[in-house]
Structure 1
């Protein structure tokens, strides 16, 4: 059983429609796929219809933008009620922050002599609810300024680069509580990837577990083997679910092919059991796993 619990479609910053993503997952030999677009559920309905039609098990989720102790933390949320008002309010604020910084990024790029405008970004972001840096990067690719998103982030848009602009991210503790109250479960995405400097650490994760955190994404392309071993040991010490996934963005992210990392079936079923318990405790109407 091959399970990939972290992927993106054009509803956020992937390059495939939800239908295309499901088809690619089937072609890659996956049995279970989670759609976890950034801060939006806009792709859920199309993905569910495609999964039913193509015989793929689908878990509906999101990747939420949060902040904890002055560090950005991405949080995977699975199977929450998407209508839960506090969660909706946070998503609206995060999406407004994503969209709101685009004009400033464009202005900074123009100061660097790069002839890009908002129409370029709108074309790159067609069909998404979560316009942001990846679409500015795509506009730069379309203009021939850079070869791909990676170069765009490395030269212009990443932290500390000349066109980087900060934005709102929801408090991590609040979001974990909101997802739990909405009947869902949470997993910290690639916790020690990129520039996280090993935060959150084991003590942080233990405290987050007390308020509802279910697991950590251990097997991810941003984690080398020693990092994975250390995170797996922490998960074992705390009894957290261990997940693995591709963080697939279609052509938008290199070396993140569907199924490049997977979640063990026993860990997947632990996660679903926790989701079922959270749903029952919340009393809310939560989405079911789409099964063939």
Structure 2
């Protein structure tokens, strides 16, 4: 096993992060990251910038994306690593996945207006570096900035979670399609932060089974969205399903994220790191 301080999950202004890809690359390098990937939501538009910045800094890089998927009426996320960002099928699939975000955001604004929060859509739009990727995170930043809530957790708890006044569901890509786009573009598909989903044990097992059947090869074990107590559970599931283990902070913003780039503990020695499946796709300086 190759021990690396890898960070293979973070977001820039190209989706819902607050830092430009170049600033993220510099932050990763400064904080001791030895292998980095930018994984913006449903978008590969920042990949060339991230790669160029990483090369300038001498930071090994893997292409990345985080694809929104609907599975059993829940939204789950699939990370793609080490793929060709110019692959036509992948690019078209991501365009279709992004397509409903703007309409959904306008519906969210209308729903929030019904409970007395006016101008939420326009306010959220100011925080979206890419209007095609306006999301609940941008609404949360607006509601915190305007004093409606103290922090993002309160926003989601009161307004943006399922069943709350500003929640509007969206049907994303199918699980099999997302895995296929990644694989056919030469990459490896990874289940992102599995502990974050509101799933029963049966649903979670079904997700892992279907993901594996479609050709998925990895799962995030050590992640900024997981508690340390959850790492062993997902290490065991990685071994049970024959999946490689990934590691990523899910960093979005210095003021919002639980874990900064480079801060996560290393993977356990009993696991196969996902980067060992992608050794020929790592782009070095």
TM > 0.5: yes
Would you identify which runs of 4 or more consecutive aligned residues in structure 1 move more than 4 Å?
262-266
Question: Given that residues 81 and 188 in structure 2 are in contact (C-alpha distance below 8 angstroms), is that contact kept between their aligned partners in structure 1?
Answer: yes
* Distance of 1:197 and 1:251 partners within structure 2: 32
| TM-score, normalising length: structure 1 | 0.87
* Distance of 1:155 and 1:203 partners within structure 2: 30
* Distance of 1:167 and 1:103 partners within structure 2: 12
- The equivalent residue for 1:272 is 278
- The equivalent residue for 2:115 is 112
Deviation for aligned residue 1:147:
2.7
Deviation for aligned residue 1:75:
0.2
Deviates more, 1:161-170 or 1:135-144: 135-144
Is residue 2:142 matched to residue 1:149? no
* Distance of 1:129 and 1:262 partners within structure 2: 34
* Distance of 1:87 and 1:93 partners within structure 2: 10
* Distance of 1:199 and 1:188 partners within structure 2: 16
Question: Given that residues 71 and 207 in structure 2 are in contact (C-alpha distance below 8 angstroms), is that contact kept between their aligned partners in structure 1?
Answer: no
Secondary structure in structure 1 of the residue aligned to 2:283: coil
Summarize deviations over 1:21-66 as a string: whole Å, max 9, x none: 1111112111111110100011112111211112211211100000
* Distance of 1:104 and 1:171 partners within structure 2: 23
The counterpart of 1:44, out of the listed 31, 44, 47, is 47
Secondary structure in structure 1 of the residue aligned to 2:66: strand
Summarize deviations over 1:209-248 as a string: whole Å, max 9, x none: 2331111111124333453222211211232101122111
* Distance of 2:140 and 2:97 partners within structure 1: 19
Q: How many residues in Structure 1 have an aligned counterpart in Structure 2? A: 279
- The equivalent residue for 1:134 is 137
Deviates more, 1:121-130 or 1:228-237: 121-130
Structure 2: runs of 5+ lacking an equivalent: none
- The equivalent residue for 2:68 is 65
Structure 1: runs of 5+ lacking an equivalent: 277-287
- The equivalent residue for 1:289 is 282
CA RMSD of aligned residues (A): 2.2
- The equivalent residue for 1:281 is none
Deviation for aligned residue 1:70:
2.5
